C-alpha cells in the first residue's frame, strides 16, 4: 500500500484510530554556538514525556538508534540492531510509520532515511511536527506510551548510504553530484564548525533552511528550482547529500524523494568525519 510521504495534522488526527499506525517522535535538540565551534546535541526524550501526539512512542536518534561506538555522532546502526530497536517500538510488517519531531523536521527525515535504508517504505512525515499539531488545536499527551512489540525485517539498501571513499571518488566523477545542505557561511568556509572549514570540492549547495516555509516544509514545486540549480534532478546522475552529521542531508533526500528521486545516498559521516581527516580536500570561498 502506498502512503503519502508528507501528511498534515488534519490527516494524522483523522487516522489516529488506525490500528496499523505507529507514531514515532524523533525529537533531538542541536545547539550551535553563535560563531565558530562544534554543536551540542541532546536527546528529546524529556520533551517527548512533557508533550507528544497521542499514541506516539519516542525514537531516540542520539542514543538508541545510533552506533555510539562509532567515531561520529548519529552513525547508522548495524541492520540487526536497528531491526531489534524498531521492533521493540512496534514497527513491523503491515504497520504505517508516521514520524515527527518538535523542531525543523530534520530529525523526522533522519529516521525516515534510517527506515528506508533498512528497506522499510511505509512511512509518512508529519509536516510541521508537534508545533503544527498543537497549532491545529489538537490535544497532546504526557508520559510514556508504547505499542505491542513487532518483528522488524531489515533488508538493507546499500545504495542509500555513501562512505568517505564513495564521496572521494565522486569529486571527479561527472556522473555523481555532491550536494551540501549547510548554511552559506559554513559552505563558503567563513564559519568553522568542524575540524577544518570549507566544503567538499565539486559540491553544489541547497541549504536546508531554504526548504522551510512558515509552517513546515515548502511544497515540492516550490523547492524544485533549488534542486534543479544544484543539478540534483538529472536522472542520469547519482546524488549524494551531506551536512555535518548526516541529519540535514536527509532533509534534502526527503524533498528529492518528493520530486521523484528516492535513490539519493546520504554521506553518513559527513563533514564531522571528512574534516577530521587532513588528507581529504576541502575548499573555501
Q: Which of 132, 156, 180 is the last residue of a domain?
A: 156
End-to-end Cα distance, the chain:
47
Cell numbers 533498512 correspond to 118
**What integer pLDDT is reported at residue 35 of this predicted model?**
78
Same-domain pairing of 42 and 167? no
Residue 201 lies in a domain: yes
Q: Helices marked H in the chain — which ranges? A: 9-14, 45-50, 79-88, 106-117, 129-135, 164-170, 184-188, 220-229, 248-258, 270-274
Q: Which of 156, 182, 217 is the last residue of a domain?
A: 156
Cell numbers 533526500 correspond to 253
Domain count, the chain: 2
pLDDT band at 34; cut points 50, 70, 90: confident
Q: Which residue among the candidates 125, 243, 249, 252 is catalytic per the annotation? A: 243
Residue pLDDT, tens place only, 208-266: 999 999 889 999 999 999 999 999 999 999 999 999 999 999 999 999 999 999 999 99
Is the pLDDT confidence value at 1 over 60? no
What average pLDDT score do residues 67-72 get? 90
Same-domain pairing of 141 and 165? no
**What integer pLDDT is reported at residue 30 of this predicted model?**
84
Residue 281 lies in a domain: no
Catalytic residue at 170?
A: no
Same-domain pairing of 102 and 175? no
Same-domain pairing of 186 and 150? no
Residue 269 lies in a domain: yes
What average pLDDT score do residues 44-70 get? 96
Is the pLDDT confidence value at 184 over 80? yes
Same-domain pairing of 27 and 141? yes
Residue 41 lies in a domain: yes
pLDDT band at 33; cut points 50, 70, 90: confident
Same-domain pairing of 141 and 174? no
C-alpha cell at 101: 519531531
Same-domain pairing of 195 and 254? yes
Residue 128 lies in a domain: yes
Residue 283 lies in a domain: no
DSSP string, 56-84: -EE--TTTTTS-TTSSSTTPPPPHHHHHH
Residue pLDDT, tens place only, 201-223: 999 999 999 999 988 999 999 99
Same-domain pairing of 145 and 53? yes
Cell numbers 514520524 correspond to 99
Q: Which of 156, 183, 201 is the last residue of a domain?
A: 156
**Which range marks the domain in which residue 40 is found?**
6-156
Is the pLDDT confidence value at 118 over 90? yes
Same-domain pairing of 125 and 196? no
The residues with which 265 forms a beta bridge, in sequence order, are 240
What average pLDDT score do residues 42-66 get? 97
**What integer pLDDT is reported at residue 99 of this predicted model?**
98
Higher pLDDT, 37 or 232: 232
Same-domain pairing of 131 and 143? yes
DSSP string, 79-124: HHHHHHHHHHTT--TT-EEEEE-SSSSHHHHHHHHHHHHTT---EE
Task: Give this prediction's pTM.
Answer: 0.96
pLDDT band at 169; cut points 50, 70, 90: very high
Residue 211 lies in a domain: yes
Residue pLDDT, tens place only, 193-203: 999 999 999 99
CATH number reported for the structural domain that contains residue 180 in this entry: 3.40.250.10
Sign, CA dihedral 227-229-234-238, equals: negative
Amino acid at each position: 500500500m502506498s502512503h503519502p510521504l508528507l501528511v498534515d495534522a488534519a490527516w494524522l488526527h483523522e487516522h489516529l484510530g488506525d490500528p496499523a499506525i505507529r507514531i514515532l517522535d524523533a525529537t533531538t535538540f542541536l545547539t550551535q554556538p553563535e560563531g565558530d565551534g562544534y554543536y551540542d546535541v541532546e536527546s528529546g526524550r524529556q520533551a517527548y514525556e512533557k508533550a507528544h501526539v497521542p499514541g506516539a512512542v519516542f525514537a531516540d536518534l542520539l542514543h538508541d538508534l545510533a552506533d555510539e561506538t562509532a567515531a561520529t555522532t548519529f552513525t547508522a546502526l548495524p541492520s540487526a540492531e536497528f531491526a531489534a530497536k524498531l521492533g521493540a517500538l512496534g514497527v513491523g510488517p503491515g504497520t504505517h510509520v508516521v514520524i515527527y519531531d518538535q523542531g525543523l523536521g530534520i530529525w523526522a527525515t533522519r529516521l525516515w532515511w534510517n527506515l528506508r535504508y533498512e528497506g522499510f517504505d511505509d512511512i509518512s512525515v508529519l509536516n510541521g511536527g508537534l508545533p503544527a499539531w498543537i497549532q491545529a488545536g489538537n490535544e497532546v499527551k504526557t508520559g510514556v506510551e508504547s505499542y505491542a512489540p513487532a518483528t522488524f525485517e531489515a533488508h538493507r539498501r546499500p545504495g542509500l548510504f555513501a562512505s568517505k571513499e564513495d564521496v572521494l571518488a565522486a569529486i571527479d566523477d561527472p556522473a555523481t553530484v555532491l550536494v551540501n545542505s549547510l548554511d552559506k557561511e559554513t559552505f563558503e568556509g567563513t564559519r568553522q564548525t568542524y575540524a577544518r572549514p570549507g566544503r567538499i570540492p565539486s559540491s553544489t549547495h541547497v541549504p536546508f533552511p531554504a526548504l522551510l516555509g512558515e509552517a513546515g516544509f515548502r511544497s515540492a514545486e516550490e523547492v524544485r528550482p533549488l534542486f534543479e540549480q544544484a543539478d540534483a534532478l538529472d536522472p542520469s546522475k547519482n546524488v549524494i547529500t551531506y551536512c555535518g552529521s548526516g541529519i540535514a542531508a536527509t532533509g534534502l533526500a526527503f524533498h528529492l524523494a518528493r520530486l521523484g528521486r528516492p535513490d539519493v545516498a546520504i554521506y553518513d559521516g559527513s563533514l564531522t568525519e571528512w574534516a577530521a581527516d587532513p588528507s581529504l580536500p576541502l575548499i573555501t570561498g
